[in-house]
Amino acid sequence: MANHAISACAPDASIESYIRHYAQCIDISLKQALASSNAHPKLLEAMEYSLMAGGKRLRPILMIAAAESLGAELERIMPVACAVEMIHSYSLVHDDLPAMDDDDYRRGKLTNHKVYGEAMAILAGDGLLTHAFYMATLAAGSDAVSLQRLMLVIREMAALAGIAGMVAGQAADMEGEQGITSLEQLESIHLRKTGDLIVFALRAGGRLSGASEAQLKALESYGYGIGLAFQIQDDILDITGDPAKTGKAANSDERAGKVTYPYFLGMDESRRKMHELTESAKQAVQQAGLPDPQRLLQLADYLMQRDR
């Protein structure tokens, strides 16, 4: 991982600049990771198509912010930051498949299988998932403490992205298409499908930076809180957002027959809940004795106020 990919962001930069800065760092690191991978050419092209399709890089940025909240250096965590983005990307490629959500477009571009065919899209997803674990091992130090920390991080990555976490969320979502009937059910799917990987990112950034168990718990509460708030804002933007910014046609959820927070709670109550979740998330990190939680607090507000 070359150094230019990981310059620290200036402390007085706005949160927008902060996000832009680290999104660029991640983009560069991801490109380097793929370029040095010696992969099958067509497979690599399909993987790169989706990985470099202009994602927000939210999960790696949260990992970086968690590490910074403990005053840690970023160099160590960059391979794991790349790993979590690869996992996020694979999950989108597989979710878009005809047998799953059957989507033709994502972020205004054709989905992977529309460009490369279903077989290659399945393999591109498998490849991104597998390579995420390759990347994560590159964050290894040489002493027993840092090796043990990274081993736990890799285990949590597999757990939270896996069969009791993100993959379980997607499985429940597939089953739920036969009818999600309660807010609890909807929330349980979001917590697994979106929340778990966000929580992994935060805990990994914390653990690799020497967070205490109590601090890891606080980062976890923060993660589940902003994860749900993020989802509610997604649902709200689908109804009220500017399609030119969100990249989705207005009311696409309703037309797709998807149940959402506004569907269960109405718009006002959804907004109230989103604010409440964001405030609790901020409180969790404020009370955890983190040396510098500023960026985590700003990110929580930013995510709730975004318009895309």
> Interface with its own copies by CB under 8 A: which residues?
37-40, 42-44, 47, 90, 94, 97, 99-100, 117-120, 122-123, 125-127, 129-131, 133-134, 137-138, 140, 142-144, 147-148, 150-152, 154-155, 157-159, 161-164, 167-168, 170-172, 174-175
Nearer to its own copies among residue 27 and residue 96 (C-beta):
96
The structure tokens listed for 45 are: 């092209």
Residue closer to its own copies by CB (options 15, 150) is 150
Does residue 127 contact residue 113 with C-beta atoms inside 8 Å? Answer: no
CB-wise, 94 or 295, nearer to its own copies?
Answer: 94
- Nearest approach in angstroms of CB 130 to its own copies is 4
Nearest approach in angstroms of CB 190 to its own copies is 15
Q: What is the spatial distance between Cα 223 and Cα 226, in angstroms, rounded to a whole number?
A: 5
Residues ≥6 apart with Cβ < 8 Å to 257: none
Give the shortest CB-15-to-its own copies separation in angstroms.
32
CA distance 180 to 178: 7
Closest separation in Å from C-beta 80 to its own copies: 13
CA-CA distance, 35 to 150, in Å (whole number)? Answer: 24
Identity of the residue, 110 or 174, whose beta carbon is nearer to its own copies in the bound complex: 174
- List the structure tokens of 196: 């778990």
d(CA 279, CA 171): 30
Minimum Å gap between C-beta 231 and its own copies is 19
Q: Least distance in Å: CB of 294 to its own copies? A: 33
93 vs 284 by CB, closer to its own copies: 93
110 strand-pairing partners: 105
In the bound state with its own copies, the residue whose beta carbon lies nearer, of 159 and 250, is: 159
Residue 31 beta carbon to its own copies: minimum distance, rounded to whole angstroms:
15
Helical (H) or strand (E) element with 188:
helix 183-190
Q: Would you say 199 and 265 are in contact if contact means Cβ atoms under 8 Å apart?
A: no
Distance CA 2, CA 138 (A): 13
Q: Which amino acid is at 101?
A: D
Distance CA 40, CA 18 (A): 35
CA distance 159 to 181: 27
Alpha carbon of residue 271 to chain centroid: 22
3-state secondary structure (DSSP) of residue 106: strand
- For the bound state, the minimum distance from the C-beta of residue 156 to its own copies, rounded and expressed in Å, comes to 9
Rg (CA), the chain: 19
| Coil/strand/helix, residue 230 | helix
Q: Toward its own copies, which CB reaches closer, 13 or 163?
A: 163
**138/250 with CB nearer its own copies:** 138
